[in-house]
Structure 1
Amino acid sequence: MKIKLFVLYGGKSVEHEISLRTAFTVLGSIDRDKFDVYPIYITQQEGAWCCSGMQEHARTTIEELVMEPEFTSATESMGSVLLRYVSGEGKKVALPLLHGSNGEDGTVQGLMELLDIPYVGNGVLSAALTLDKVVSKQLLSQAGIRQTDHISFLMEQWNEEGHSLLNRMEKSLGYPVYVKPATLGSSIGISRCEDRAALMQGIEHALRFDRKIVVECEVAGREIQVAVMGNERPLASLPGEFIHRHRFFDFESKYMDKELVMSIPAELPSYTMERIREYAIQAYRVLCCSGLARVDFFLDSDGEIYLNEINALPGFTGTSMYPVMWERTNGTAYSELIEKLIDYAFMRHADRLTVQYAR
């Protein structure tokens, strides 16, 4: 009997569009001989759940993935989808492809735990940790992993003591700096700032998307990425990097530039390559990850390695770095990679079932 695969995408998040791109590629690559596929679209404004049943064939355009909810209420729509499609008998697994808030942050993962449904990717704790740049930096720092110098603060702090914060940032970080929302990805809300006016503007821009802000000093050098997958015994891919002409690799650069070139493996000394892979696995374990993650590093001109961030749900289109790194590391094809991640989901769920809840 085929496995019921519930693919969640869209979501109440500023990264809604990225989720649609990921879902379009994934849904087009799933082996329908092995899985009964149920796409579940979550609207951007209300967070309403939509499902039209099992999808026998992949859609031909991204626009076809967008559905109209039967109920606009998130509660009613979620209950309807869960009762009508998810609660039935049979072996089942969820594949959350929700980038950013309300999906990549542990919320949907918690729902799957309550429903006792295996799901692909990181658990509640690791999803929350990895999405929050401030908390993850604190934990990685305690583990002795080198990172860029940074300062973080809340909206209330900025409103009450903005001038002193500016002085502190200029004294300890200098310019240029990067301003980032603490709990977003895809370079949304990020600004590169070379003076105080730009810094103030960048902070106000980032506060549109988050109440917690991170300001980091710039590391001049290369951006190196590593794909990691697995549960207790994670594996790290060969490192890769994008060759590009952009000073700041922002949202438009990542997703609109047709001239990006992947270099996999990245041209690195063997010693540096292995250190980066080791740091990637160490960070993966420190943040309690399982299933998959992409770990991003900076490499400066002196060969020093700085961990930038860890992404618990990296881009997963056919041209995203994560799947391509695995294909060039050990020949794992895109559809095979999805099935491996599903296997990890079942293994983690089986481990969880060994825990008893009564004495």
Structure 2
Amino acid sequence: MGQDKLTVGLIYGGKSGEHEVSLQTALAVSQAFNYEKYELIPFYITKSGEWRVGSKLTGPFSALEELKLENGAHNTSAAINMLFEKLSTGHSTLDVVFPLLHGTYGEDGTIQGLFEIANLPYVGAGVLASAAGMDKVIMKKLFAEAGLAQCEYCYFTASEWERDSHAIVQGIEEKLRYPCFVKPANLGSSVGISKARTREELLSSIAIALRYDIKVIVEEFVDAREVEVGVLGNEEPLSSVPGEIVSSSEYYDYQAKYLDGKSQMLIPAELDTELAEEIRDLAVKAFKAISGNGLCRADFFVKKSDQTVWINEVNTMPGFTPYSMYPLLWRETGLSYEMLLDRLIELALERYEVRQNLNFENGVQ
């Protein structure tokens, strides 16, 4: 470490439908870091799962293409050797890793397990929270256990669908009625989500969802405002002011979220003080329900009919693109982008230190 700078491994890309979103996030983060405090080492994971590690960055990336490390980058074995350095030599080039990976193999607990085995501090949720936050069905069961109100839902696997699709459709129509939303259970960024208004649409929506996952969740339609809250912390998490999504399309889909720029984010959301405080408290409760660490964005429905608040989901690795909700919520709460990055790295190191003091041996010492 030169001049007591922290060396941060920035990990982005990945084998996921959200590869491009991850690149946008990494570009924005590289441009926000203070290079007098940090040295960044970029790790790019290609769509096919190959790893590339670049040289230390002396300044930010200026274009998305640069992030792909096509010139002079080292290959997968060099990247893995650097990650596992501490196990073989007792010290590491990396002080902390910052995974900017969305979706499968990124925020689902798999890469977090790799960091745990490599004994590296890392930003964000641990293995359990990442996995639970990725699987919408498991997440909803944890929310129910924590007493959080949520919409009605049904779920099934691909093999159950093959065995008895007729009974599943009947169950959905009886419990949820139309319209309803069909989603792959394990994908973020609204990929593969459809709204079904009829049985015909339900069948085609399920076919789409099954292209992305072997488990599908179907949720009742809620006529509600969509309100989101940022959570930041470990054992004593704090919540941001709430923000509201006013979508450009019928629901907040991938196009509205990342491509057309027409969805409005109202920050802070126009809520009375008591309701805003209730939502902030529920966001912390949801974060704790999945055993969160570092950060998450908690998404809520505020029903238009009676103002009741229902948890929709949490996202353990929310986007950091320049127009992403999570950094904007914290900016409005008083924490700039740069300060937010500092805090996330502090939280990663704090959590690592606490865990280093645990006894993993058998018996009492």
Shorter-chain TM-score range: over 0.9
Q: Equivalent of 2:310, from 295, 306, 312?
A: 306
Q: SS where residue 309 of structure 1 aligns?
A: strand
Q: For residue 357 of structure 1, what is the aligned residue in structure 2?
A: 360
Residue type of the partner of 1:314? P
| Residues 204-223 of structure 1: pairs in structure 2 closer than 5 A | 204-223=207-226
Alignment of 1:171-190 (within 5 A): 171-190=174-193
Q: Counterpart of 2:320?
A: 316
Residue 18 (structure 1) aligned to one of 16, 21, 36: 21
CA distance in structure 1 between the aligned counterparts of 2:347 and 2:261, rounded to whole angstroms? 33
Cα deviation, residue 261, structure 1:
2.4
- The TM-score, its normalising length taken from structure 1, stands at 0.95
Count the aligned residue pairs: 354
Partner of 2:66: 64
* SS of the residue 2:59 aligns to: coil
- Aligned amino acid, residue 125 of structure 1: L
Distance, in Å, in 1 between the alignment partners of 2:168 and 2:176 is 11
1:346 paired with 2:349, answer yes
CA offsets, 1:298-325, max 9 Å, x none? 1111101111000000111121110000
- Whether the aligned pair in 2 keeps the contact of 1:240 and 1:262 (CA below 8 Å) is yes
Residues 13 and 101 in structure 2, CA contact (< 8 A), matched pair in contact too: yes
Question: How far does residue 244 in structure 1 lie from its aligned partner after superposition?
Answer: 3.2
% same residue: 40
The residue aligned with 1:268 is: 271
Could you say which residue in structure 1 is the equivalent of 2:332? 328
Q: How does 1:158-307 map to 2 (within 5 A)?
A: 158-301=161-304, 302-307=306-311
1:3/1:90 contact within 8 Å kept: no
- Separation in 1, partners of 2:83, 2:303: 49
Structure 2 gaps, min length 5: none
Question: Deviation of residue 77 (structure 1)?
Answer: 5.7
- Which position in structure 2 is the counterpart of 1:128? 131
d(CA) in 2 for partners of 1:11, 1:31: 25
CA contact (8 A) 2:85 2:92 kept: no
Q: Deviations over 1:4-31 (max 9, x none)?
A: 1000000111111111111110011111
Q: Is the 8 A contact 1:48 1:78 kept in 2?
A: no
**Residue in 1 aligned with 2:80?**
79
Q: What do you get for the CA RMSD once the two structures are aligned?
A: 1.7
Task: Quote how far apart the aligned CAs of 1:78 are.
Answer: 4.4
Matched residue SS, 1:303: coil
| Distance in 2, Cα, partners of 1:153 & 1:24 | 38
Question: Structure 2: how far apart are the matches of 1:324 and 1:277?
Answer: 16
Residue identity matched to 1:287: I
Q: Deviations over 1:18-56 (max 9, x none)?
A: 1111111001111111111001000112x1110122111
Task: Report the CA distance between 1:260 and its aligned residue.
Answer: 2.8
Please list every run of 5 or more consecutive structure 1 residues that lacks an aligned counterpart in the other structure: none
